[in-house]
Every structure is written in structure tokens, then in C-alpha cells.
Amino acid sequence: MSKTFSINAGSSSLKFQLYNMPEETVIAKGLVERIGLDNGVFSIEYGDDQEFEITTDIPDHGVAVGLLFDYLKEFNIIDDLNEIDGVGHRVVAGGEIFKDSTVVTEKVIEQVDELGEFAPLHNYAEAVVMREFAERVPGATMVAVFDTSFHTTMPAENYLYSLPYEYYEDYAARKYGAHGTSHNYVSRRAAEIVGKPIEELKIITCHLGNGASITAVDGGKSVDTSMGFTPLAGVTMGTRTGDIDASLIPYLMEKTGVTDVKEMINIFNKKSGLLGLSGVSSDMRDIEAEADAGNERAQLTLDIFVNRVQKYIGQYAAVMNGVDIIVFTAGIGENSGRQRKAILDGVSWFGIELDEERNDTRKEAIITTDDSKVMAINIPTNEEVEIAREVERLK
């Protein structure tokens, strides 16, 4: 039986799932957190509901991967490393180079590292983690799966900013988008659910999690997406601003006394969005609870979140000159019938008729009435299994 890792590394974290393929059954999954910080945490779930967690110093990603392999052996999850014949790595930025998932070679690792400028929190760490796996399981096929690949089909009128054209030619300054694995997975699943060829469908996919992005999928291809040069742009997110006017940067730096522009961008990435607006939390559940308890700022935060998503749905219906299906996925999209209803009620003029009973779900389900002109579907995303499938495809 073949075992395949699905790996998602960030600057201070590493998420892993180990699958039996092609059965797609999960053997083990877990998370290494606080890499390079005090009190690192390694946690793993395996077997029949067995769990293990340890707090220990994890100074770098090499140690993180080392711990993973040590515990796989210690808990007898793996007898022989040769059983692992595939490793899929999520890579955030593929720039204009990687239009599809690709088998990892030393050159690919170097390119992923060079693209670190486009996703500093992810690509550098991903390159390091690829090298660690290449050393430990040299016989396995390693595949890089890029968040941006799915969006490389966008036409120039949607990916170019209205900047001097040379900035695109000389510095590759353009929209790249993100969450491509998820948008790809849920749009194809939506076509399967309605039983129509994806080539005939106009789909708007709303990936609403802590990070959030909306994509216009026309005929199975991404034609526009709300994230931009980096994942900072688009709708209001857990801690990220989404779209703002660039002129705010010098203005706010002067007013707040922040002198380093990187610090300002850090505030836009980590202290803004739902957290910054509400002053309560970046977590949608907390904000819903606060709003219910009468906190007006929390209610305003919910209204802003809904408003931004509605605006992108409106934009993308215009970009595609129509829409057949709206898909909701990720933490908020999958679980919060309340946010789905708030969003869809405001765009009902498209011909969307929500079925409130059907919408009371966290599972895969059509949530509009049978008569609704535009269909809305709730589809739990599964980026991890999609990464493992990409390894199978390229093996």
C-alpha cells in the first residue's frame, strides 16, 4: 500500500496528513506550531482516536520534520520509511513560472525559494521543508502544489494593476491570487453535484476562512480572484484588511509614528480585519456571540464582512456576465449558515432563493430552493486530499 504525505508549511508552523493512497484514508494528521519561538508544540492524531501532544523547543523546520519522523516510528505508525512513496507540498507563491503542480527537483526548490519575495511567510519555509523531506525519504515522489496555479488562467485585464506597464514587465507586479487548490476542488465538486460539465458553468467560489478569497470560475478556469499580489487583498479577513487605498500607508505611518513600512504592512496583515474592526477577536464565532450580546461594533464588523463578500459576488457576476452557482467553503463558509444567509439575502436580486432549512447544515448540500435561478452550494473544502491526489496524478 502506498503512503503519501500532504504537507502545508508556514513560517512558524507545519501541518501534515499522511494518507493511504489511492484509498485516501487518513493514517495520521497533526500540526507543529511555534517553530522558532518559545514553547513549540507538536501534536498528532492517529489510529483509533489516539492523540499525543508535547511542548518542546522546536528551533527550526528541520527539527520540526525530525520530530514528525521520530514520532511516526515511536508510535509504530510507520515501520519502514520506504512505505512513504509520495510527498505533496503546498506552496503559496508559484509566480508566473508554475502553471501546474510539478515534481520537485533541486531546481524547483531553488525557484520556490526565489519566489519568497512574493510570499515571505511561506515560500522560504516551504523550500526548507522540501529539502528536509528529500533527505529523509529520497525514494518518494515529491510534488509541489501551488496556491497560485489555478489562477494562472486569469486574463491580463483581470490580473494587471493600473500601474505603469513596466512594473509588470520588469518586476512581475501583478495579481496572483491564492487558495487555488481550494477554489479548484470546490468548483469541480460543484459541477459534479449538479451533474453538468464544468465547461458549461459560471461559478463563484467563496472560500471564507481565517484567510478568505472569492474566485470567478468560468468554464472551469479561474478568470478573476479577490486576493492580489499577496493574500492581503480582497475581502475583510480574520486579521487582514482586504482591499484598502494605498494612500493610507504614508498617511497612517505619519499619524501613528510607525516608521518602518514593513511594520505597517504587518498591522494590515495581523491586526486588522475582523480583529481590528471588532476589537474582540479574529474568530467569527466570537464575533457572532458578541454581536448577539449587544456589542454594536461586533455587529458592524459582521455587516462589513458580509458587505465585502457581496460586492465581490456582484463584481464576479459582472466579470463572467452571469452566474449559475455560488459555492461556500472553509471555516466560515462551511459552518456559518448565518453568514451564508446574510450574504445571499443581499444578492437575492440575482435570482437566488435560499432554502433556510437546507441552509441549516455544515455538510455538503445545495442550500437554495429547487426553483432558485442561481444555485448556492455548501461544499467542505479538502486541500489536503487534493494535494495528495496531485502526487498520485504526477507519480
> Active site residue: 80, 113, 147, 283, which one?
147
Q: Could you say whether residue 342 binds ligand AMP (CB under 6 A)? A: no
Q: Could you say whether residue 242 binds ligand AMP (CB under 6 A)? A: no
| 3-state DSSP assignment of residue 299 | helix
Cα separation, 21 vs 378, in Å, equals: 26
Q: Could you say whether residue 335 binds ligand AMP (CB under 6 A)? A: yes
Candidate segments 161-169, 283-291, 316-324, 366-374, binder of ligand AMP by CB under 6 A: 283-291
Q: Could you say whether residue 360 binds ligand AMP (CB under 6 A)? A: no
DSSP string covering 104-153, please? --HHHHHHHHHGGGG-TTTHHHHHHHHHHHHHH-TTSEEEEEETTGGGGG
- Report the residue number, 271 or 285, with the smaller CB distance to ligand AMP: 285
Candidate segments 63-71, 104-112, 163-171, 277-285, binder of ligand AMP by CB under 6 A: 277-285
Q: Which of 6, 111, 301, 336 binds ligand AMP (CB under 6 A)?
A: 336
Cα separation, 387 vs 123, in Å, equals: 16
Q: Side-chain half-sphere of 190: how many Cα atoms within 13 Å?
A: 35
Q: Which of 9, 44, 68, 330 binds ligand AMP (CB under 6 A)?
A: 330
Cα separation, 171 vs 46, in Å, equals: 45
CB 145 within 8 A of CB 89: yes
Site string for ligand AMP, 189-218 (x = CB under 6 A): --------------------xx--------
Output Rg (C-alpha) for the chain, integer angstroms.
21
- Report the residue number, 128 or 379, with the smaller CB distance to ligand AMP: 379
**Cβ contacts of 310 within 8 Å, gap of 6 or more:** 343, 346, 347
- Report the residue number, 32 or 332, with the smaller CB distance to ligand AMP: 332
Q: Could you say whether residue 332 binds ligand AMP (CB under 6 A)? A: yes
- Report the residue number, 285 or 373, with the smaller CB distance to ligand AMP: 285
Cα separation, 203 vs 351, in Å, equals: 14
C-alpha cell at 178: 491564492
Candidate segments 18-26, 218-226, 282-290, 347-355, binder of ligand AMP by CB under 6 A: 282-290
Tell me how far, at minimum, the Cβ of 46 lies from ligand AMP, in Å: 21
Candidate segments 80-88, 117-125, 281-289, 309-317, binder of ligand AMP by CB under 6 A: 281-289
Sequence-ordered strand ranges (E) for the chain = 2-9, 14-21, 25-33, 40-46, 50-56, 84-91, 102-103, 141-146, 202-208, 212-218, 221-225, 325-329, 365-366, 375-378
Q: Could you say whether residue 331 binds ligand AMP (CB under 6 A)? A: yes
Tell me how far, at minimum, the Cβ of 257 lies from ligand AMP, in Å: 31
Cα separation, 27 vs 206, in Å, equals: 30
Tell me how far, at minimum, the Cβ of 204 lies from ligand AMP, in Å: 18
Q: Could you say whether residue 309 binds ligand AMP (CB under 6 A)? A: no
Residue 80 catalytic? Answer: no
Cα separation, 325 vs 355, in Å, equals: 15
Q: Could you say whether residue 186 binds ligand AMP (CB under 6 A)? A: no
Tell me how far, at minimum, the Cβ of 233 lies from ligand AMP, in Å: 17
Among 194, 209, 185, residue whose Cα is nearest residue 90: 185
Tell me how far, at minimum, the Cβ of 283 lies from ligand AMP, in Å: 4
Q: Could you say whether residue 238 binds ligand AMP (CB under 6 A)? A: yes
Q: Note the helical H segments in 200-329.
A: 248-256, 261-270, 273-278, 284-292, 296-320
Binding site for ligand AMP (CB under 6 A): 209-210, 238, 283-285, 288, 330-332, 335-336
Q: What is the set of active-site residues?
A: 147
